[in-house]
Amino acid sequence: NHILEDVNKCVIALQEGDVDTLDRTAGAIRGRAARVIHIINAEMENYEAGVYTEKVLEATKLLSET
């Protein structure tokens, strides 16, 4: 929910040309995404390796690279 709120703030900042708010809010999104990735990766260690865990780890890798 917080990430969605931050995305909406970024859209408004873009529309208003508010570079500082855009930069600050984008940083908040990156931080939140990094925390989500960390938690998911730790949680996947509790699962038996398989197609599901591989796909989840691929998705977190993709998220961390964007």
Average pLDDT per 10 consecutive residues for the chain, totaling 66 residues:
94 98 96 95 95 96 91
pLDDT the model gives residue 1: 82
What DSSP assignment string belongs to 36-50? Answer: HHHHHHHHHTTSPSS
What tokens were used for 25? Answer: 């809010």
Cα–Cα distance for residue pair 9/12, rounded to 1 Å: 5
pLDDT the model gives residue 66: 80
pLDDT the model gives residue 33: 94
- The DSSP symbol for 49 reads S
Nearest to 36 by CA among 60, 15, 55: 60
